[in-house]
């Protein structure tokens, strides 16, 4: 297991500088911009004058870890930790905080991210060989756990950007990982059947089986492992437990807090809902005008403008008693064998009052009016 200083090097100190009298200062994050959920609140970021000091290496980068090292109060102890995922080289951090930055991102972040995004057999072996220990997104179990605890972990990860449950790996007291393996691989259908009734249908997860008959990493040779991969689907949030059982309460939103599965607080639930809204809004706002119009036209096409309405019920009592072979002939002699139902084509009352073409025409008129106002023609 690696030491922290081997991964990040020494902590980098923050900057404060002088008051920004020109309005052209650099935005600096303070501890008042920290939330208790480990995120940054950008609502009241101040700008400061740093003069001619060389601060190029202190600009925050995505993936940086900011640590609150002084300040605090009776109601807010010092020591909060923030994961920075904001824009690159835009913000600094103040002198009440320190910064940890991964030195070799190719070794310590890229491979970890690659494993999380696509946990293949080779990447799993490499991940175990690095022996990073349990992390927020990955939970190690030496054997299969009870269905209630398993469902709670899946729900927690679903509400917390996804994650992976690894079965067949033991975490020791010192934090190191021991690949103990499983004697047999559990049937995937059996796993799904055990937990399905406790999970909402929108929770997206898959089960992977990894067996190593031979391996460059001897610790996994001739061993079997199973992984439950929970995919991050923010548009489906929140995921709420469906039933009570041992280790699980019904109608609860669980989250991953550190390496533990806990009930979400009111503030955490607000963040989950906000993430869903942001995702849905972003997906909508990213569409081009052409894509919006294409979707609208498709919706119009799904709704018929005309529908058939029954205007007179026919008399088909004789037909019903005739043989199938005579049914066609009976229709030709309707005055003898009865009359069929009569339908009339009418406008669909549920069809929009404004047609697709009329909508486009109205938008053109509105756009022309707006252009005229911009040009001060009206």
Residue 248 DSSP SS3: strand
Residue 298: what are its φ and ψ, rounded to 5°?
-65, -40
Residues paired with 179 in a beta bridge: 169
**In the structure, what pLDDT confidence band is assigned to residue 78 with cuts at 50, 70 and 90?**
confident
Say what the pTM is: 0.55
Which helix (DSSP H) or strand (DSSP E) does residue 191 occupy?
helix 188-195
- Predicted confidence (pLDDT) at residue 110 exceeds the cutoff of 70: no
Determine the Cα–Cα distance for residues 128 and 184; give it in Å rounded to an integer. Answer: 20
User: Mean pLDDT score of the chain, rounded to an integer?
Assistant: 84
Share of the chain above pLDDT 90, in %: 41
pLDDT at 248 over 60: yes
Q: Indicate if the pLDDT at residue 197 is higher than 70.
A: yes
Q: What's the confidence (pLDDT) of residue 172?
A: 86
Q: What is the mean pLDDT of residues 252-265?
A: 91
Instruction: Please report the beta strands in 163-244, taking only residues with DSSP state E, as ranges in sequence order.
Output: 163-167, 169-171, 177-179, 205-212, 223-230
Cα dihedral value 88, 89, 91, 92, nearest 10: 130
pLDDT over threshold 50, residue 317: no
Helix (H) or strand (E) holding 66: strand 65-68
């Amino acid at each position: 297991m690696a030491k922290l200083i081997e991964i990040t090097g020494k902590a980098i100190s923050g900057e404060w500088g002088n008051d920004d009298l020109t309005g052209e200062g650099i935005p600096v994050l303070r501890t008042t911009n920290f939330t208790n959920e480990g995120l940054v609140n950008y609502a009241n970021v101040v700008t400061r004058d740093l003069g001619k000091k060389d601060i190029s290496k202190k600009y925050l980068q995505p993936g940086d870890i900011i640590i609150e090292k002084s300040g605090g109060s009776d109601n807010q102890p010092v020591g909060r930790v923030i994961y920075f995922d904001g824009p690159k080289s835009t913000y600094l951090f103040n002198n009440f905080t320190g910064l940890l930055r991964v030195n070799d991102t190719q070794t310590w972040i890229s491979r970890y991210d690659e494993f999380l995004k696509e946990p293949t057999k080779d990447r799993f072996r490499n991940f175990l060989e690095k022996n990073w220990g349990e992390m927020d997104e990955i939970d190690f179990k030496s054997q299969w756990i009870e269905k209630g605890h398993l469902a709670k972990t899946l729900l927690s990860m679903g509400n917390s950007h996804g994650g992976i449950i690894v079965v067949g790996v033991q975490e020791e007291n010192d934090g190191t990982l021991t690949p103990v393996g499983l004697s047999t691989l559990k049937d995937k259908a059996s796993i799904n059947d055990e937990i399905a009734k406790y999970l909402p249908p929108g929770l997206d997860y898959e089960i992977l089986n990894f067996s190593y008959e031979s391996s460059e990493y001897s610790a996994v040779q001739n061993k079997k492992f199973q992984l439950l991969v929970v995919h991050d689907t923010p548009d489906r949030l929140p995921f709420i437990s469906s039933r009570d059982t041992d280790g699980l309460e019904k109608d609860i939103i669980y989250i991953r807090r550190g390496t533990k599965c806990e009930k979400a607080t009111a503030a955490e639930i607000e963040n989950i809902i906000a993430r869903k809204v942001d995702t849905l809004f972003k997906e909508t706002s990213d569409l081009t005008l052409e894509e919006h119009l294409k979707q609208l036209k498709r919706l119009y096409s799904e709704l018929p403008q005309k529908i058939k309405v029954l205007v007179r019920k026919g008399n088909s009592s004789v037909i019903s008693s005739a043989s199938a072979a005579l049914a066609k002939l009976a229709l030709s002699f309707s005055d003898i064998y009865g009359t069929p139902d009569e339908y009339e084509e009418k406008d669909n009352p549920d069809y929009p009052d404004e047609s697709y073409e009329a909508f486009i025409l109205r938008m053109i008129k509105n756009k022309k009016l707006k252009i005229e106002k911009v040009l001060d023609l009206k």
